[in-house]
Amino acid sequence: EPEVTQTPSHQVTQMGQEVILRCVPISNHLYFYWYRQILGQKVEFLVSFYNNEISEKSEIFDDQFSVERPDGSNFTLKIRSTKLEDSAMYFCASCGWGERYNEQFFGPGTRLTVL
Amino acid sequence: AQSVSQHNHHVILSEAASLELGCNYSYGGTVNLFWYVQYPGQHLQLLLKYFSGDPLVKGIKGFEAEFIKSKFSFNLRKPSVQWSDTAEYFCAVNTNYGNNRLAFGKGNQVVVIP
């Protein structure tokens, strides 16, 4: 069964550094999402992406964050200048269309640690 | 915006015991409801979902959930748990409007003792 994949599984970075988290959604899916989960807290929506543009973003998704789909397969989340509070598990998700529109498939996550 | 509440964040029970996890949401319109499970070291997997129709939905691994619209609830149940059900369980909701974003509850950490 097709899966959403994410790399790396764990990223450690220094505060102020840029990080890029990578996701490969399921190949025929059209809608893409990033969520994050700070340790001990809820999974929170960050951004949704459709037709090569952001369709919705949360208040968490400020100017330090950006997303891109540079080719037909990858979907990336960039954090320009990381802060300690960006330490979290970041999940990518994708979904199809029609009947499959409401079912999001999640990747295994990238654990980001900012020191 | 939708919000989701899950109580009793940590649940410990023995094998063969019954499990019920509560989920309440706040949103006045039509919602879609989900339970996701995250086994240790693995990604979020869909257990079951409710879009419309029969409010009692059956999912994988013997789980079921009941949508009670009047109570804004979507509780998850399993009559007899196994050690392999040790996991974190998340209730989530979205709507048919907007961009399909999911709002999650805080999760229930369930530990089943053999």
**Tell me, what's the pLDDT at A46?**
97
Number of H helices, E strands in chain B: 0, 12
**Tell me, what's the pLDDT at A28?**
87
Q: B46 vs B23, B41, B56, CA distance in Å?
A: 16, 16, 16
**Tell me, what's the pLDDT at B85?**
97
Q: Which strand (E) or helix (H) includes residue A95?
A: strand A88-95
**Tell me, what's the pLDDT at A99?**
61
- Which residues of chain A are within 8 Å of residue B98 when distances are taken between CB atoms? 56
The answer to whether A102 faces chain B, any CB pair under 8 Å, is yes
> Tokens 């989900």 map to which residue?
B34
CA A50 to chain B, closest CA, distance in angstroms equals 9
Task: Quote the CA–CA distance of B53 and B32 in Å, as a whole number.
Answer: 11
**Tell me, what's the pLDDT at B75?**
97
CA B88 to chain centroid, in Å, comes to 10
- pLDDT, tens digit only, all 114 positions of chain B: 678 999 878 999 999 999 999 999 998 778 899 999 999 878 889 999 998 899 999 999 999 999 999 999 999 999 999 999 999 999 999 887 766 889 999 999 999 999
Q: B65 vs A5, A100, B24, B34, CA distance in Å?
A: 29, 20, 12, 9
**Tell me, what's the pLDDT at A87?**
97
- Which residues of chain B are within 8 Å of residue A105 when distances are taken between CB atoms? 46
- By CB atoms closer than 10 A (0-12, 13-18, 19+), residue B113 is exposed
Range in A56-65, A74-83, A96-105 the model is least confident about = A96-105
The answer to whether A104 faces chain B, any CB pair under 8 Å, is yes
Shortest CB distance from A109 goes to which of B43, B92, B103? B43
> What pLDDT band is residue A43 in, cutting at 50, 70 and 90?
very high
